[in-house]
Structure formats: structure tokens, C-alpha cells
Amino acid sequence: MNTYSSKLLENAVDELSRLPGIGRRTALRLALHLLGEETTTVDALANALTTLRNEIKYCRSCHNLSDSEMCDICRDSRRNREIICVVEDIRDVMAIEKTNQYRGLYHVLGGIISPMDGIGPKDLTIDSLLQRVQTGEVKEVIFALAATIEGDTTNYYLYKQIKGFDVKVTTIARGVSVGDELEYADEVTLGRSIITRYLYENAMSR
């Protein structure tokens, strides 16, 4: 005898447990929760998911998720079009936007070069980035990739491709986190923060 008394319930649990990080126990809890909700609430959830999947677009300039051909950031005339910040995925765009410290454009690579995972330069939006750089409008490209071997590899690959153009290439600073005690910072980060030290008067003016 099946432990589920309802095929409808079992089916919902099956589908929910396909989601990453959701086991069958959590899936059952979610399904039973939805049974206690209004029909309209469940419809709204289901509709939000199918609409997202069916209607989402990727900005044809920066490849960020967008509801139209060109994303809000790329269309915003107040943004500085001379700077492009290269990130791995949309979450990085959101994280940087939250800081309110950046007013340039982005370029979403859609991943990072990782031979172990079978991801090479061709799987990323690198050609599209080079096209943007070629227009001559861009003065600076900021690398904001993860501080990992894959991130460094990707940075180096991109740098080789871009250095022929008249563009400044920078990378975000690595250092001790704001509010962190020095003694708890790892050696590599602390070492890099010393190598990339900058004038104290520049820090004061911020």
C-alpha cells in the first residue's frame, strides 16, 4: 500500500521535491500548507511560476533578466554608459545594486569558466561583451567575479581579450570586511589587502 492516500498529493510532493534543497518531507509540508490556503492563493503561485518561465527575457545588451528586450538598467539614461561591470549572474547584479555605490552598466556572463564543470568561454556571453567594448563608448570594464580559481581564470581570459582595446580594466577590491577584526581575516585576504592598500586621504573623502 502506498503511504500517500491521494495521488494528487503524491504528485504535488513529487514535483515540489524536484526543486533544489527541497526534500520529500519539506515538499509534503509545503503541499499540506497549500491545501489550507485559498484557491486563489495557490493559483497566484502557480501562475507566477509559469508566467515567469514563459515570458522572461534576457536583455540583449547586458543579458540580465528582463521583462523586455532591453533591461531597465540599460535603458536608464541616468546610468553611466562608459563603465561596464562584469558579473557571473543576476544575483550579483542585485547584490551590487543594493549597495547603491554603482551607477554604470552591467554585463552578465551567465557563468564562469570552469573546465571541471565543462563550461568554456563559448558558453558565456563573452563575444557580446567584446562587441560592447568595440563600440568605443566604454572607458572602463570592472571585473566583479568570485575570488576563486575559476573567477581568476575568467578574469585573465577576459583581460587578454580586452587589453587590445583602449579600455581601463579594473577589478573589485579584496580585503578585510568592514567591521571585521583583523585577527579573524584569512591570510590570503589580509595579504591582498596590504598589497592593494591605498592612500588614507582617499578613504577619508568617502
Nearer to a copy of itself, 1 or 182 (CB): 1
Residue 79 CB, shortest distance to a copy of itself, in Å, is 10
Residue 24 near a copy of itself by CB under 8 A: no
Residue 66 near a copy of itself by CB under 8 A: yes
Instruction: Please count the helices (runs of H) and the strands (runs of E) in the chain.
Output: 9, 6
Near a copy of itself by CB under 8 A, which window of 23-31, 137-145, 174-182, 190-198?
A: 23-31
Task: Count Cβ atoms within 10 A of the Cβ of residue 59 and give its class: 0-12 exposed, 13-18 middle, 19 or more buried.
Answer: buried
Residue 97 near a copy of itself by CB under 8 A: yes
Q: How many CA atoms lie within 13 A of 29 on its CB side?
A: 5
Q: Give the number of other Cβ atoms within 10 Å of residue 78's Cβ.
A: 5
Interaction mask 25-54, a copy of itself, x per CB under 8 A: -x-xxxxxxxx-x-x-xxxxxxxxxxxxxx
Residue 56 CB, shortest distance to a copy of itself, in Å, is 6
Identify the CA nearest to 188 among candidates 147, 132, 152: 147
47 strand-pairing partners: none
Q: Give the number of other Cβ atoms within 10 Å of residue 158's Cβ.
A: 24
List of residues contacting a copy of itself (CB under 8 A): 1-9, 11-12, 14-16, 18-22, 26, 28-35, 37, 39, 41-56, 59, 64-67, 71-73, 76, 89-91, 93-94, 97-98
